[in-house]
């Protein structure tokens, strides 16, 4: 993996992501290294917007992520949507997506 970051989501919950370039798909991928449990919410890939390959889970995203920063911002948005899902049962991206630029440049 190219870089690993910790993202603190709403409520002070920590997520850890690793980023890897996938040449065959010409995109960066955000692998989920650690995240909170879903409690009593369904944990299927459709409900949680996660995919897996080779035993590793990653954030499901429908567009190419040409830069590592793009992947980090999608991971942060996914973490916030996951927090919302755990609390409400609805997976919803935040209106004002957080930026993680400062994490990648540190």
What are the distances in angstroms from CA 97 to CA 8, 13, 51, 72, 76?
13, 16, 21, 11, 8
Query: How far apart are alpha carbons 29 and 98 in whole angstroms?
Result: 18
**pLDDT at residue 96 above 80?**
no
Ranges of H-type helices in the chain: 45-48, 68-88, 101-104
Domain count, the chain: 1
Q: Which pTM value belongs to this model?
A: 0.88
| Span 51-74, pLDDT tens digits | 999 999 999 998 999 999 999 999
Q: Which domain holds residue 19?
A: 3-104
Query: How far apart are alpha carbons 68 and 88 in whole angstroms?
Result: 30
Q: Which helix (H) or strand (E) holds 33?
A: strand 27-34
Q: Which two tokens stand for residue 64?
A: 């190419």
């Amino acid at each position: 993996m190219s870089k690993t970051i910790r993202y603190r989501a709403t409520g002070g919950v920590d997520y850890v992501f690793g980023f890897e370039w996938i040449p065959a798909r010409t995109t960066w991928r955000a692998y989920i290294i650690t995240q909170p449990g879903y409690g009593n919410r369904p944990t299927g890939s459709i409900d949680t917007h996660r995919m897996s390959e080779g035993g590793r889970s990653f954030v499901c995203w429908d567009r190419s992520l040409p830069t590592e920063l793009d992947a980090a911002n999608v991971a942060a948005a996914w973490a916030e949507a996951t927090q919302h899902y755990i609390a409400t049962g609805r997976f919803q991206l935040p209106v004002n997506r957080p930026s993680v630029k400062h994490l990648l440049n540190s």
